[in-house]
Structure 1
């Protein structure tokens, strides 16, 4: 056994001195002849890295093409893609004559050759890539390994600008075991070529759009040594049309309806019931559309802030309506308005909201109670009234009126006059209202108009701010 091991070591040393593989000789230009030479000179050495000296690194040229973007999971912070991965390297010392062996390249089983252990550092699921059992071997010793890769990789997703967000996911290719002194990663196509080819062959047209790819070599340094890597940055942009149509536009419609509900008069329409219906409808809308919103524990999407502000505005609008309705319907039970409130609201704030104070009627009703006084005996009004009453009754008026006969008629007239005056006072109080009640109702109208203006201003500022933030974030 010792002699056998010594012979193997001598053979390996000779191969290292003369090259990893000598030039192949084919007896005829047939596949059988070529594979017989490969079986004899190359395939038995598949366990060795194909270099003349162990101090020489193997250069692995890598190139990728993004074929499909299957999805982005915000909750697990992962990206699922399908790539075409191309690896190229040289087997030092291997060559054959194209005319002698009958071909320039040949496909050989992958397990017959040494294949570098290239992996993706962000890989976070089992390998579900299709099996490709063959690689191309050229007559110059160049190996061309092209295979599809379906991978689930980790990606730090920033969804603050959802649904107008842009994600930058990294794919790092490098050897899992070999140090940079053994395997050195070489960049293949440029980032512009990769992007152009990926956009030409991209077969998915889903939620995400590929807008950029950048590539740069990097080195991972550890205590035991350094690893050569190639890092790709895949830049994706979400297509926001679905979320704008299903989330933002309906929300804006409900906010607009709530805004115009201020035009409903609170004293004649139950505005609070209308606003409560809007709030319930908006809550149901958010519950139904909750599945479209991203779920993550890192940052809160700005669209959630938008929905919270919209709901808060609706609730504030409802509280304002309750307050104004209470003033309108309970003004008759309030005490006299303080002077400072009268001046602040009815004199200054009413001018700001363009709601001038209505002028009151100057008509006054006076009641003079003369029940305790006896009318003069020879009053002209008494004589006329008695005469008039007797004329109406059809009796012939006497030549000289009798005061004793006219007193009951005068008492009835005085009683009727008092009743009419009381009815008139009650009607005036009903239609004109007391001064205190009118002032409080005017305060309610002025405050309602003022809060309506504040609602419009705050709503406009909020929407402009949200649009600016989304625009600046995307730019």
Structure 2
């Protein structure tokens, strides 16, 4: 019996330093387990609000949808706050800082005020906690926001997008977020045809402690110029050059139909790239509309001139009346020649017939020459008219001032008011 008591006493003496001491000494895991045992999933309740300081922000533009005017971006937020429930003294451990699982303690949630779609995930699975109760944590925010950028002078435009990242507040309680002074950009500045020029922190005038990221974007016009503006200008130039082709034969008409179909294809590309509504429709829509009307008028004019050259059914001018009188005179001459044939001899009648035939041929040649000269005159007039119309159409691209949109809207409204 005495031997059993001695063994129990020795075992108690060996286990007493672990049970009785409250120090973890150099064991970080021991300290972490002690802190996690407190179940710190609730926000710090030292005051009604929690002050969260954003040490730094890293911004990157992922994409920009020109048609929908939506921007997707990635923001890394490095933030810190104080939780005095996670403090420890040197009596507990000499450790200055430890790592704790981010899902085992409370972390602040950020309010994304103007986000269409947002995803938040921790940058790492751990947070850093110091002996003073300071917690450092980083999150990655994938945000999609709607941007109201005026595309009237597309592709020579620039605009700004707002990304509102704030804490939440209900009365005196909530999360108060303190922004850094500057925002750093990461990754490339070019996202498709859009470039990120600048990112800065701005503050709302009517809201206290409400700030947002002001992202300035601009378009690289090379892609739009090569795929839209340059082809439309070359098509219009080819339409003018087509006036050098002869009206007879139909080669000119075939070329104009091909040009019109080509422009229609580019209009479909434009509709897939740019929005057709909004405060002011992009000027490029008007440009392509005028180009299409110009090509259709040019094609119809070419068809009419071809018909006029081969038939006079649509002609009502003085020149055409003269041509018809000449045709009637030719018929009368043929009738007179027939009557003379009966009264004169065979030799004289044959000679007269040859003379009348030659006169008829000459008169028909004069009629054909007059008709061709009249059509050529109309063709030159149409060429000059379409030169002016093409120059007017292409000059619309030179309108690049902000007030042009308002002026154009007033002009269209004035025209619509004149229509009964």
TM over 0.5: yes
CA distance in structure 1 between the aligned counterparts of 2:43 and 2:122, rounded to whole angstroms = 26
Residues 271/456 of structure 1: CA separation in 2 closer, same or farther (3 Å cut) = same
- Would you say the 8 A contact 1:69–1:208 is kept in 2? no
Q: What pairs with 1:358-437 in structure 2 (closer than 5 Å)?
A: 414-433=348-367
1:449 and 2:383 equivalent?
A: no
1:60 and 2:64 equivalent?
A: no
Residues 453/167 of structure 1: CA separation in 2 closer, same or farther (3 Å cut) = same
1:229 and 2:215 equivalent?
A: no
SS at the partner of 2:58?
strand
**Stretch deviating more after TM superposition (455-464 or 311-320):** 455-464
Q: What pairs with 1:37-436 in structure 2 (closer than 5 Å)?
A: 38-39=35-36, 43=38, 47-49=42-44, 51=46, 53-54=47-48, 58-61=51-54, 63-72=56-65, 74-75=67-68, 77-91=69-83, 101-125=93-117, 127=119, 129=121, 132-179=124-171, 182-190=174-182, 194=183, 197-198=184-185, 200-202=186-188, 205-218=191-204, 228-267=209-248, 269-287=250-268, 289=269, 292-295=272-275, 297-298=277-278, 299-331=280-312, 334=315, 337=318, 414-433=348-367
1:363 is matched with none
| C-alpha deviation, 1:213, in angstroms | 1.3
Structure 2 residues without counterparts, runs of 5 or longer = 1-21, 323-336, 405-420
- Would you say the 8 A contact 2:163–2:214 is kept in 1? yes
Task: Report the number of matched residues.
Answer: 365
SS at the partner of 2:365?
helix
**Stretch deviating more after TM superposition (312-321 or 66-75):** 66-75
CA distance in structure 2 between the aligned counterparts of 1:30 and 1:177, rounded to whole angstroms = 39
CA distance in structure 1 between the aligned counterparts of 2:316 and 2:54, rounded to whole angstroms = 90
| C-alpha deviation, 1:92, in angstroms | 5.8
Aligned alpha-carbon RMSD (Å): 4.1
CA distance in structure 1 between the aligned counterparts of 2:292 and 2:110, rounded to whole angstroms = 52
| C-alpha deviation, 1:460, in angstroms | 2.0
CA distance in structure 1 between the aligned counterparts of 2:283 and 2:267, rounded to whole angstroms = 15
**Stretch deviating more after TM superposition (459-468 or 236-245):** 236-245
1:351 is matched with none
| C-alpha deviation, 1:69, in angstroms | 0.8
SS at the partner of 2:114?
coil
CA distance in structure 1 between the aligned counterparts of 2:136 and 2:232, rounded to whole angstroms = 55
CA distance in structure 2 between the aligned counterparts of 1:464 and 1:180, rounded to whole angstroms = 59
Question: If the length of structure 2 is used for normalisation, what is the TM-score?
Answer: 0.71
Question: If the length of structure 1 is used for normalisation, what is the TM-score?
Answer: 0.63
Residues 99/267 of structure 1: CA separation in 2 closer, same or farther (3 Å cut) = farther
Structure 1 residues without counterparts, runs of 5 or longer = 1-24, 222-226, 343-368, 373-409
